[in-house]
Amino acid sequence: MGNPGKTGRPPRLATRFTELVGIEHPVVQEGLGPYKVVALAAAVSNAGGLGTISIPGISEEPAAGARKLRAYIEEACTLTERPLAVNVPVGADKTGAVLPFSAAYIGAVVEAVRDAQIARRLRVITTSAGPPGLARALIEGAGLIHTHKVGGTRQALRAEAEGVDAVIASGYEAGGHTHARPVSTFILGASVAEAVTVPVVLAGGIRDGRGLAAALALGADAVAMGTRFVASHDNTDWNPAYGQRIIDAREGEDVVFPAIYGPSRALPSEGLSELLRMVDAGEKDESKLTRFKDERLIRGQRDGDMEQGLLPAGQVSGAIRELVSVADFLPGIVAEAISVLENVQRGVVR
């Protein structure tokens, strides 16, 4: 676990990302949702990581969704004094303009940080899906750190060129939205870290301190986890059946299926089978498909309907065997990573 320093406190891992964001540990909770994850985000931030508030959904009427997101932000700020993030997918219409739901959610975040008390906590906006340049004009000047999720090295280079402060390199193993070109975390992490100069957060398949140590060895500055945090005692906004379903998952049980911004990864359910039947039958109405997906995601997350719901989860589900308490888990994986790195160093023969 590493030896305590001169202060008697256990050692910590300081990286460019922890310094940039002002967090203690190089661990990020991935954007989840569409059902709220306010309690989980606050728990991760309170434990020294970066918790992420998710948008309510992309089928919400934009103004109503923005009001709901603002309520999530305000609630999270009552639960933690530490840095928080918000995750917003960015889409564009045929003319290249930012889609109304993306503009509304980004606007809600920018408006929120005009409140000094919120701005002390809400430090980061994470964008995904479309190029980050679509959102830069909406974000610039707000005082927010802008991170962007990518699934390839070319995307990472473009994100850096368009002015983001850090990139999240998400491997194909990740749950929820993944990538049309399947590049695994182990390959992607090293390639992106080598290609860009901004801090890199590595995501996809990470569940413990060994994964954190490996990410640092690949050149990353932090890790992001979604599925591992879903299966925690602190994810109290969601129905406990969801965390139990992850624990019960078998290795290789996950399914990749068509989604709004490319493929998505989930655990099998009748709800997913129904979605695939709609797609196979040639359903072309994107608004209908989007509403169906949001409704079924919420049925799984809020209501615990493991049959009719959609159940995003990463390949790592098959390796998770227990719920964790974030306050113990997060510093524990940092200690484990330090121990792994020290053990490797002790094996070096000169």
Q: Which of 225, 315, 205 is nearest to 265 (CA)?
A: 315
Q: Which of 127, 115, 38, 143 is nearest to 84 (CA)?
A: 38
172 and 296 in one domain?
no
Q: Is residue 277 part of a domain?
A: yes
Query: What is the H or E stretch that residue 72 is in?
Result: helix 62-79
Residuewise pLDDT in 10s, the chain (350 residues): 445 545 567 788 999 999 999 999 999 999 998 999 999 999 999 999 999 999 988 878 899 999 999 999 999 999 999 999 999 988 877 787 888 889 999 999 999 999 999 999 999 999 988 888 888 889 988 999 999 999 999 999 999 999 999 999 999 999 988 877 889 999 999 999 999 999 999 999 999 999 999 999 999 999 999 999 999 999 999 999 999 999 999 999 999 987 766 788 999 999 999 998 888 887 667 788 888 888 999 999 999 999 999 999 999 999 999 999 999 999 999 999 999 999 988 888 88
206 and 60 in one domain?
yes
Q: Which of 251, 266, 236 is nearest to 326 (CA)?
A: 236
Contact call for residues 88 and 109 (beta carbons, < 8 A): yes
Contact call for residues 211 and 308 (beta carbons, < 8 A): no
327 and 302 in one domain?
no
Tokens of 332: 């524990």
102 and 68 in one domain?
yes
User: Domain span at residue 334?
Assistant: 16-236+320-339
Q: Is residue 10 part of a domain?
A: no
User: Which residues lie closer than 8 Å to 208 by C-beta, 6 or more apart?
Assistant: 228, 333, 336
Q: Is residue 5 part of a domain?
A: no
- CATH number (domain holding residue 170): 3.20.20.70
Q: Which of 224, 307, 303 is nearest to 44 (CA)?
A: 224
- Sequence letter at residue 265: R
